Amino acid sequence: MKKITFASFLVQVLIFSTVSAQEITLIDSGKNSSIRGLSIVDDSVAWISGSNGYTALSTNSGKTWKWNQHPKYNKLDFRDIEAFSSREAIIVSAGTPAVILKTADGGITWKEVYFNDSPEIFLDGMDFWTKDHGIVYGDPINGKIQLLETRDAGITWKNISNNIKIPLAEGEASFAASGTTIRTGKKGKVWIATGGMKSRVFHSKNFGKTWKAFECPIIQGNNSSGPFSIAVNSKNMVAVGGDYLIDTLRTNNMLLSGDAGKTWATPQISPFGYRSAVEYITQNILVSTGPTGTDISIDGGKTWKNISPQGFNTVRKAKNGKMILLTGSKGKIAKLYLPDVLKD
């Protein structure tokens, strides 16, 4: 048994006591849009995207938002967004048709850079290694995950689905719940989580050229269950989800990995229901959210504490900064404030 010193015990008590000092503050709401796309550039600039063709941009730390509803695309659900500055962003829609749009003028105008009206197409999410080099993935067609790659900052997209030689099982697909079932890492690493009847994590070390797949023993076995979000910090990885039709179920709804998804362990205390997003805030602090509330872990995901009954679709931290935002249904946007002691 690991020996706990009195000093370390006091530190743990202090940290846990300050968790209650966190605050989730609603900063915007009311738009007829379910916001699932969220990308925070820094402590000033943040972008969101959602259903009914909505996007919004804030350049003052979320105090005010410039909303746009795109008439040509007002029936589309833009479930993921990647932003690079206050002027440049890319959005991707879920469902048919599959559309990718790019703006270079702060969202005033958008250029359609990809269109696919195949009845089978359903894009789930995207991530980027650099501003120029990114990847989008979607549900399987003929048993194969769909992959699109850009090497020119989203101006053009190439179908690289044939790079994955591993077929998906019947009923194995993915969830476009928060744009976080795909994550990129350093030196060409990328992870994709599948769920439904079967759950796995697909991993590439070379920008999606070749792939391996590892079993993910999270709850699965029907179309409403599996991992709805993953987060990666070096070799540490977490997967959260559950069954969205039973959103208070806590059984096997979160897993931890210390080897980037090859093997998994269960936490001592799980998140408090179905969760659609998880984000590393620091190496040891994570935040997860879903329709029944928002939870925090300060020990790398081993134990979770519910910090608010407010539920959201997604949570993200600034790429270059400390700002943490959450977004949800009916245009809901909130900011999460954590005590300074937690920002290690």
Per-chain mean pLDDT for the chain:
94
| Contact present, 297 and 303 (Cβ < 8 Å) | yes
* Span 281-304, pLDDT tens digits: 999 999 999 999 999 999 999 999
Strand order in the sheet with 305-308: 277-280, 286-290, 293-297, 305-308
CA distances from 282 to 279, 285, 300 (A): 9, 5, 9
Residue type, 211: W
pLDDT of residue 339: 83
- Could you give the CA distance from residue 295 to residue 272 in angstroms, rounded to a whole number? 7
Consecutive H or E run containing 15:
helix 6-19
Q: Would you call 120 helix, strand, or coil by DSSP? A: coil
Domain segments of the chain as ranges: 6-342
The CATH number fitting domain 6-342, selected from 3.20.20.80, 2.130.10.10, 3.40.50.10320, 1.10.150.120: 2.130.10.10
> Pick from 229, 265, 171, 300: which is nearest to 38 by CA?
229
* Span 66-125, pLDDT tens digits: 999 999 999 999 999 999 999 999 999 999 999 999 999 999 999 999 999 999 999 999
Provide the CA 155 distance to its chain's centre, in angstroms: 23
| Contact present, 193 and 185 (Cβ < 8 Å) | no
* Span 141-192, pLDDT tens digits: 999 999 999 999 999 999 999 999 999 999 999 999 999 999 999 999 999 9
